[in-house]
Amino acid sequence: MAAPCNEDPAKLEFSLLVPFPSAREATIALQSLSPDREPRKGGISKELSILGSAMSVKWTADEARILRVSVGSFLDHLALVLETMEEFGPPLTLIHRK
C-alpha cells in the first residue's frame, strides 16, 4: 500500500523487499533492473539497494497514478528477470562453492 512519505507528506511512498536465495542473485537482479530509468522526468523517483540476500526498492511519487504505473512496470521487468534467472540456473560462483 502506498503511504505518505515521511520526508514530504505531499508525496506518496511505496517500498518493496524482494528475497533471493543469495546476495549474488539479488545483486544480479539489481544490476539487471537498475538501468531502467523512469520515463517521466519528474514526479517520481526509485531507489534500489541490496540488504543481505534481498533487493529493496523504494519509490517516491507526486501522484498515485504515476506510482502505480512505475510499480507495475517494475514488477513486469522483475518477473522477466526472475524467469530468466530460473531458466539459466544459479550463478556459476554458487555452483562452484557447493
Query: What pLDDT score was predicted for residue 91?
Result: 77
Residue 41 confidence (pLDDT) above 70: no
Query: What pLDDT score was predicted for residue 48?
Result: 96
Please name which of 48, 45, 47, 13 lies closest in space to residue 29, comparing C-alpha atoms. 48
Domain ranges for the chain, please list them.
Answer: 3-97
- Its pTM stands at 0.79
Give the chain's mean pLDDT. Answer: 86
Residue 34 confidence (pLDDT) above 70: yes
What CATH number belongs to 3-97?
3.30.310.50
Radius of gyration of the chain (CA): 15
Which helix or strand (DSSP H or E) is residue 92 part of? helix 92-97
Which helix or strand (DSSP H or E) is residue 57 part of? strand 54-61
Residue 74 confidence (pLDDT) above 80: yes
